[in-house]
């Protein structure tokens, strides 16, 4: 079973967020209850094909053991493939779990080397892929192995695809998406794919600056992408042609420096003075965006509305988080698409109010871009 146990750790190696481990438990438990023995594989960090104790799965195994006391035994093998791994896998009895060492300790993993996937395939009879967060990577343990064994999706992978894919394919309307984050260039594919699918697209974060600049507004010292002005104009034109309402902030929280202790002021977006930068959407924009979210039946959110890591510029992001919680309470389907938005919704304390909080940042973005994830495609190919 491939899982995405690529969890954040502090400098001492302690796991700071075990969401991804918890998220795989239903599938692991199901397999154990059905009498299987389970060999788990995952990458952790980016050790670049070399053994590096800093990226060992050991802390993950320890946490898994705490979370899964019903597993007869959570073993750990230093090996990933080869005779030692095969012997460890063969010795498992039903109800036992074996966690392999970091798949990226083997340089063949990220090359999707067919020999490595064949070696991994020798460790089991069925391949279960529950690694949504890594499904956009065509690696030996995510994609390659599915060509050697019967492959099926685990419950987490299935749930991620059902929520995100389901919203895109057959949403209950109004369908609203909120896109934020630093740069427009990172999310062009997402915006393009959503045009015509969503009723309303709310733009916030640094990327809104470039749209506003493209409309001829002075943006002072705000983060802008001068090379993306034509792109911003063409996206606005495409939105109009596709019948998607693209909304931009009407007011801004400005700072005289990129700092939590900067001087701040709130102004309309057409009155940004020289020397100031927009670090959050203003209160009027937050109100307008919240009203759209609360009136929606399906909402997907990806990317913060401002520099939410600094308290003076977090209000826009938290207003959206609150609106998502309100929409959920009224029965809307609410989906958070990974990355910083998940951190924001957790900070706001609303994570458990959402219909779905994705465990994949890059993977959920690629789904929103309309791409086929290789880890998923490989399962379907065999079926």
Ligand X SMILES: Nc1ncnc2c1ncn2[C@@H]1O[C@H](COP(=O)(O)OP(=O)(O)O)[C@@H](O)[C@H]1O
Ligand Y SMILES: O=C(OP(=O)(O)O)[C@H](O)COP(=O)(O)O
Q: Say if residue 340 carries a ligand binding annotation.
A: yes
Told to judge if 20 belongs to the known catalytic residues of this protein, a careful annotator would answer yes
Chain mean position to CA 78: 29
Positions touching ligand Y (CB under 6 A) are: 4, 6, 46, 133-134, 137, 338, 360-362
Please pick, among 29, 111, 122, 183, the residue that the annotation labels catalytic: 183
How far are the Cα atoms of 32, 38, 147, 276, 279 from residue 317, in angstroms, in the given order? 41, 41, 43, 20, 11
Q: Mention every residue, 6+ apart, whose C-beta is less than 8 A from residue 166.
A: none
Residue (46 or 54) nearer to ligand Y, CB:
46
**132-161 positions binding ligand X, by CB under 6 A:** none
Please pick, among 124, 306, 339, 360, the residue that the annotation labels catalytic: 339
**258-297 positions binding ligand X, by CB under 6 A:** 278-279
With CB under 5 to 8 Å by kind, the binding choice for 249 among ligand X, ligand Y, none is: none
Are 90 and 114 spatial neighbours (Cβ–Cβ below 8 Å)?
no
- Applying CB under 6 A, does 303 fall inside the site for ligand X? yes
Q: Say if residue 6 carries a ligand binding annotation.
A: yes
Q: Say if residue 339 carries a ligand binding annotation.
A: yes
Name the residue whose CB lies closest to ligand Y. 361
With CB under 5 to 8 Å by kind, the binding choice for 144 among ligand X, ligand Y, none is: none
Distance CA 335, CA 75 (A): 35
The SS3 of residue 213 is: helix
Told to judge if 29 belongs to the known catalytic residues of this protein, a careful annotator would answer no
With CB under 5 to 8 Å by kind, the binding choice for 362 among ligand Y, ligand X, none is: ligand Y
Told to judge if 13 belongs to the known catalytic residues of this protein, a careful annotator would answer no
Distance CA 128, CA 282 (A): 46
With CB under 5 to 8 Å by kind, the binding choice for 46 among ligand X, ligand Y, none is: ligand Y
Distance CA 373, CA 383 (A): 16
Scanning 123-131, 147-155, 263-271, 335-343 for contacts with ligand X by CB under 6 A, the matching segment is 335-343
Distance CA 332, CA 314 (A): 24
Quick note: the x/- pattern for ligand X over 165-184, rule CB under 6 A, is ----------------xx--
In the complex, minimum distance from the CB of residue 216 to ligand X, in angstroms, rounded to a whole number: 19
With CB under 5 to 8 Å by kind, the binding choice for 133 among ligand Y, ligand X, none is: ligand Y
Told to judge if 124 belongs to the known catalytic residues of this protein, a careful annotator would answer no
Pick from 173, 129, 121: nearest CA to 3: 129
Angle between helices 315-329 and 283-294 (to 10 degrees): 20
Dihedral angle over CA of 317, 322, 328, 329, nearest 10: 180
Q: Say if residue 46 carries a ligand binding annotation.
A: yes
With CB under 5 to 8 Å by kind, the binding choice for 304 among ligand X, ligand Y, none is: ligand X
Q: Say if residue 2 carries a ligand binding annotation.
A: no
Q: Residue 179 has which token pair? A: 């896109």
In the complex, minimum distance from the CB of residue 247 to ligand Y, in angstroms, rounded to a whole number: 27
How far are the Cα atoms of 211, 263, 368 from residue 180, in angstroms, in the given order? 12, 23, 14
Question: Could you give phi then psi for residue 278, rounded to 5 degrees?
Answer: -85, 120
The residue whose two tokens read 């019903």 is 70
Binding residues for ATP: 187, 309, 338-341
Catalytic residues, by residue number, are 20, 183, 339, 362
Binding residues for substrate: 4-6, 20, 43-46, 104, 137
Residue ranges that bind ligand X, judged by CB under 6 A:
181-182, 186, 205-206, 223, 278-279, 302-304, 306-307, 309, 339-341, 361
């Amino acid at each position: 079973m491939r899982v995405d146990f690529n969890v954040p750790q502090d400098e001492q190696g302690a796991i700071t967020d075990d969401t991804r481990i918890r998220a795989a438990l239903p599938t692991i438990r199901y397999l154990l209850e059905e009498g299987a023995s389970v060999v788990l594989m995952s990458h952790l960090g980016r050790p670049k094909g070399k053994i590096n104790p800093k990226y060992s799965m050991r802390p993950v195994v320890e946490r898994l053991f705490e979370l899964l006391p019903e597993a007869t035994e959570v073993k750990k093998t230093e090996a990933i493939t080869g005779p030692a791994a095969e012997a460890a896998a063969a010795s498992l009895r039903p109800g036992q779990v074996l966690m392999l060492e970091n798949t990226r300790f083997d340089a063949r993993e990220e090359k999707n080397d067919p020999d490595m996937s064949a070696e991994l395939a020798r460790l089991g009879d069925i391949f279960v892929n529950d690694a949504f967060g890594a499904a956009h990577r065509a690696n030996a343990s995510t994609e390659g192995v599915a060509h050697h064994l019967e492959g099926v999706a685990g419950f987490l992978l299935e749930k991620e695809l059902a929520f995100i894919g389901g919203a895109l394919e057959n949403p209950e309307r109004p369908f609203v998406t909120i896109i934020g984050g630093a740069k427009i260039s990172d999310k062009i594919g997402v915006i393009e794919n959503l045009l015509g699918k969503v009723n309303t697209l709310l733009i916030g974060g640094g990327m809104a600056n470039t749209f506003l600049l493209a409309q001829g507004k002075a943006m002072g010292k705000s983060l802008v992408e001068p090379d993306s002005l034509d792109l911003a104009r063409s996206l606005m034109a495409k939105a109009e042609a596709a019948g998607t309402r693209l909304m931009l902030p009407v007011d801004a929280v400005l700072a005289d420096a990129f700092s939590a202790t900067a001087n701040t002021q709130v102004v309309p977006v057409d009155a940004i003075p020289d020397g100031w930068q927009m670090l959050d959407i203003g209160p009027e924009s937050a109100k307008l965006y919240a009203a759209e979210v609360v009136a929606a039946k399906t909402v997907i959110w990806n990317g913060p509305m401002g520099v939410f890591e600094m308290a003076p510029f977090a209000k826009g992001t938290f207003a959206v988080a609150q609106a998502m919680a309100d929409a959920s309470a009224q029965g809307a389907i609410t989906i958070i698409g990974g990355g910083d938005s998940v951190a924001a919704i957790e900070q706001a304390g609303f994570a458990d109010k959402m219909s779905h909080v994705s465990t994949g940042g890059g993977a959920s973005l690629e789904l929103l871009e309309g791409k086929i994830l290789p880890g998923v495609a490989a399962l379907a190919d065999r079926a």
